[in-house]
Structure 1
């Protein structure tokens, strides 16, 4: 559950007791060693401790090298970080298959455990998804993963996994003032599952940052002496949704984690009401 502490130290407790930073940073934009090193240096300096990656991003080895060089600079250890990675599963994913991919990810990242491991996208039919999740649970029980979850799962897909011994602890989804599935939100809250937003500024497929031009967002940014990016981030956090802002700009990275203000209930309602554009996203949900 979210708290009112400063954002850099704010955590969300998963149902198995693991504490996850409320604000992390998505690494998918960086690949090459030099750019990853600079990115990690700027992120650690700004206060980020959660780094979100995936095997398909192609940057796990570069992140390992960056952490190895930069953690001593900031007097940090591996245990001070929260590292998330993801697996793309086939419709008939097995324990052996998931374990093999996990071991490669651990080797690439130079660590013996992940803080969170996610299934990147639902594949197959109901039966195969249940088998895949059972295999994911078995890998979790081996002890090299602190928490497990999913990405891009609707309420109906989550219901299919609800009877398992360890239902998903995190559901990472597209979530922002233009796209917030309230039924999914309510379901996750009822089942003690943390929602995490990989697109807190709008759809990841857009390049025009449409949300930042909305009069409500611009007006509230002025009212709270904040940036147009800080308003949707704080809105998500106050709704107890974790966020993964995407930026490689050092100034923006600092702004996106310095969110020590509070939006009033009335203004939260104004942001909630922005979503007339929701129907244009429904085909992708």
Structure 2
């Protein structure tokens, strides 16, 4: 359980719980509200959402109804990927804050360097303007930390070369068998914390026999193994679950993957056929 409340420290001194609760593909309303309420009851103190997910209202309500002090819950959300102007970025942040109905967010990220329907397009110039808006939001105190998501090395360099405040986080697709080594290495060397969205490869990893064998040998579930794998690489995982039993099960991380098994996991490739990749 301590893994949920242990923290990484961002470059500005903000402390962030080492495991977050992911909310992608969790539909707004009763399903989302119950999932987030159960996650908080299970001990999670870090919830990751986004404007794009459409469930910010449920996240905010679950937090307000939890009875847990606001400063004990770390809230991450994201600027929509389609927002590529300074003015739009400030406007979407206001929408997010209305949705959440919270006084501040702990971490605000640019969701992607390109709009989703223009995957891989070059928006370098526009991203500099977007980052200016992110800096303004940060300076207002309404976001305690700011960062990026899905940014490759070139996109990371573009922000670092044109910023006053350096990004504190890069949230990337990362799971056993797909670890974006160049992007992770550059982000870490640049002082960013790397977060892993979809550490279970949106469920595809659960069907991998090699990973299943290693999990069985360690007497843990595949999900527990996948989450711990990220942590042992100093990556912050954002597992998602809706089933209360799975939510609780994923908090049981009081074990260590042996070095030999870590090396074996590191050697695996194509572990989740069917999973889409962002690069």
Q: TM-score, normalised by structure 1?
A: 0.87
Q: CA 1:182 to 1:126, structure 2 compared with 1: closer, same or farther past 3 Å?
A: same
Q: Match for residue 246 of structure 2?
A: 252
What CA distance in whole angstroms lies between the structure 2 residues aligned with 1:93 and 1:29? 26
2:76 to 65, 71, 84: 84
Q: Give CA-to-partner distance per residue, 1:194-238, whole Å, 9 cap, x none.
A: 111111012x4xxxx442333432222122210011111111110
Equivalent residues of 2:150, 2:278 under 8 A apart: no
Deviation at 1:85, TM superposition (A): 0.9
Q: CA 1:191 to 1:232, structure 2 compared with 1: closer, same or farther past 3 Å?
A: same
1:216 to 210, 213, 224: 210
What CA distance in whole angstroms lies between the structure 2 residues aligned with 1:7 and 1:263? 14
Q: Match for residue 50 of structure 2?
A: 54
1:142 to 140, 143, 146: 140
Q: Match for residue 200 of structure 2?
A: 201
Q: Match for residue 264 of structure 1?
A: 258
Structure 2 SS opposite 1:84: strand
Q: Match for residue 63 of structure 1?
A: 59
Deviation at 1:171, TM superposition (A): 0.9
Structure 1 SS opposite 2:241: coil
Any stretches of 5+ residues in structure 1 without a counterpart? none
Deviation at 1:6, TM superposition (A): 2.6
Q: Match for residue 17 of structure 1?
A: 13
Deviation at 1:50, TM superposition (A): 0.9
Any stretches of 5+ residues in structure 2 without a counterpart? 115-121
What CA distance in whole angstroms lies between the structure 1 residues aligned with 2:260 and 2:179? 18
Q: Give CA-to-partner distance per residue, 1:38-85, whole Å, 9 cap, x none.
A: 21221112111111111222222233333222x22xxx1111111111
Q: CA 1:223 to 1:92, structure 2 compared with 1: closer, same or farther past 3 Å?
A: closer
Equivalent residues of 2:173, 2:277 under 8 A apart: no
What CA distance in whole angstroms lies between the structure 2 residues aligned with 1:13 and 1:258? 22
Structure 2 SS opposite 1:229: helix
Equivalent residues of 1:197, 1:244 under 8 A apart: yes
Equivalent residues of 2:215, 2:221 under 8 A apart: yes
Structure 2 SS opposite 1:247: coil
What CA distance in whole angstroms lies between the structure 2 residues aligned with 1:158 and 1:245? 24
Equivalent residues of 2:5, 2:17 under 8 A apart: yes
Q: Match for residue 239 of structure 1?
A: 233
Deviation at 1:87, TM superposition (A): 1.0
Q: Match for residue 89 of structure 2?
A: 98
What CA distance in whole angstroms lies between the structure 2 residues aligned with 1:50 and 1:244? 9
Q: TM-score, normalised by structure 2?
A: 0.89
Equivalent residues of 2:176, 2:266 under 8 A apart: yes
Equivalent residues of 1:31, 1:62 under 8 A apart: no
Q: CA 1:227 to 1:115, structure 2 compared with 1: closer, same or farther past 3 Å?
A: same
Q: Match for residue 185 of structure 1?
A: 184
Structure 2 SS opposite 1:246: coil
What CA distance in whole angstroms lies between the structure 2 residues aligned with 1:62 and 1:190? 36
Structure 1 SS opposite 2:91: helix
Structure 1 SS opposite 2:60: helix
- Residues matched between the structures, number: 271
Equivalent residues of 1:119, 1:149 under 8 A apart: yes
Deviation at 1:156, TM superposition (A): 1.5
Q: Match for residue 172 of structure 2?
A: 173
Deviation at 1:103, TM superposition (A): 1.9
> Over the residues paired in the alignment, what is the CA RMSD in angstroms?
2.2
